[in-house]
Amino acid sequence: YSRVLQVFEPNEFDIMLLMPVARLQLDECDDTGAYYYLSFKRNPKEKYLLKFLDEDGKLSAFKMLQALREIIKQEVKNIKNVEVTVKRKKAGSPAITLQIKNPPSEISVDIILTLEVQQSWPPSTQDGLKIEQWLGRKVRNEFRNRSLYLVAKQNKKEKVLRGNTWRLSFSHIEKHMLNNHGSSKTCCESDGPKCCRKGCLKLLKYLLEQLKMQHTKQLEKFCSYHVKTAFFHSCVMWPKDTDWQLGDLEYCFQKYLEYFLDCLQKSQLPHFFIPQYNLLSPEDKVSNNFLSRLLSYELNNRFPIFQE
């Protein structure tokens, strides 16, 4: 396991480009509670955004991404000493991806257009973020007082694909939970006790990546966010630092993987912040079962994929 944890060479980076907006009206566009149409209540402070409204007065993610893309393309031309290219647009992706070629390896950077709104979180998040037992009620309240992030993300279920939907994003909170993951303040600090939480997450991310390389088509529905969501649920189920002792990495990883397998078999993985939103919908049962078979094989055969 520890050998696998050392192979991590990050070559993909995400940068959120934050645009502060004072107030927005959020209208749910389906029953996930994650996707919204955005419009301005009265005359907005942000006059410059008015040109991005569609014919219904909704803020168009598509128009804003297009404009940002053009700006980035122009800027990239001015970079002299490194070879940077803007990758072709992926349908429905909220990101503009830069390929940066420089020895020793190539890296890609996703620039994600994000609105930062100073208002309270919508009702769909009310029963999410169940971290009281793990990180405490005070921390939960503090998180819920932070701004709301919305990313320009196409909702595949939208009746007419016009590209003006936005999805809630909690990556700022997720990052904070990953960095301050202990039920005690000193967990994994330089002189504090170490745990294996992050090690477990990295292992399962790596495992999924390797499987996706071998079965790209069958596993295209899955991404590291599934693994991360299952990880946060595991942290809540096993909230104590003693549940994740560093020496128990192997045992903890298997326990966490078994929980993820259970989610796949039931086609049930609630979004950590929006509990009504199931990330493994039953209509994807075939791919859920496919991944679950591959993972069970790895688990029962002491992870041949890590030996490669």
Do residues 254 and 164 share a domain? no
- Cα separations (Å) of 176 from 118, 127, 139, 198? 19, 19, 11, 13
Do residues 191 and 298 share a domain? yes
Last residue of a domain, one of 146, 180, 214: 180
Q: How many residues belong to the chain?
A: 308
Q: Is residue 215 predicted with pLDDT exceeding 90?
A: yes
pLDDT value at position 1?
Answer: 62
Write the pLDDT tens digit of every residue in 138-166: 999 999 999 999 998 877 665 555 668 89
Write the pLDDT tens digit of every residue in 174-195: 999 999 999 998 999 999 999 9
User: How does residue 8 score in pLDDT terms, banded at 50, 70 and 90?
Assistant: low
pLDDT value at position 155?
Answer: 72
pLDDT value at position 42?
Answer: 79
Do residues 246 and 141 share a domain? no
Write the pLDDT tens digit of every residue in 45-70: 888 899 999 998 999 998 999 999 99
Contact 281, 31 (CB under 8 A): no
Last residue of a domain, one of 118, 147, 180: 180
- CA distance linking residue 291 with residue 211, whole number of Å: 9
* Partners of 86 in beta bridges: 98
Domain that holds residue 173: 1-180
What's the one-letter identity of residue 1? Answer: Y
Q: Is residue 93 predicted with pLDDT exceeding 80?
A: no
How high is the mean pLDDT of the chain? Answer: 91
Do residues 164 and 213 share a domain? no
pLDDT value at position 102?
Answer: 74
Do residues 100 and 32 share a domain? yes
What's the one-letter identity of residue 273? Answer: F
Do residues 201 and 107 share a domain? no
Do residues 209 and 173 share a domain? no
Looking at the 3D structure of the chain, how many domains does it have? 2
- CA distance linking residue 146 with residue 36, whole number of Å: 19
Last residue of a domain, one of 156, 180, 204: 180
Read out DSSP for 293-306? HHHHHHHHTT-HHH
Do residues 107 and 172 share a domain? yes
Q: Is residue 137 predicted with pLDDT exceeding 80?
A: yes
User: How does residue 7 score in pLDDT terms, banded at 50, 70 and 90?
Assistant: low
> Averaged over 276-299, what is the pLDDT?
96
pLDDT value at position 307?
Answer: 82
Tell me the helices (H) and strands (E) count for the chain, helix number first.
Answer: 9, 8
Do residues 109 and 160 share a domain? yes
- The separation between CA 238 and the C-alpha centre of its own chain, rounded to angstroms, equals 22
Look up the CATH number of the domain holding residue 18: 3.30.460.90
Do residues 7 and 69 share a domain? yes
Do residues 137 and 33 share a domain? yes
Residue 173: both structure tokens together: 């909170």
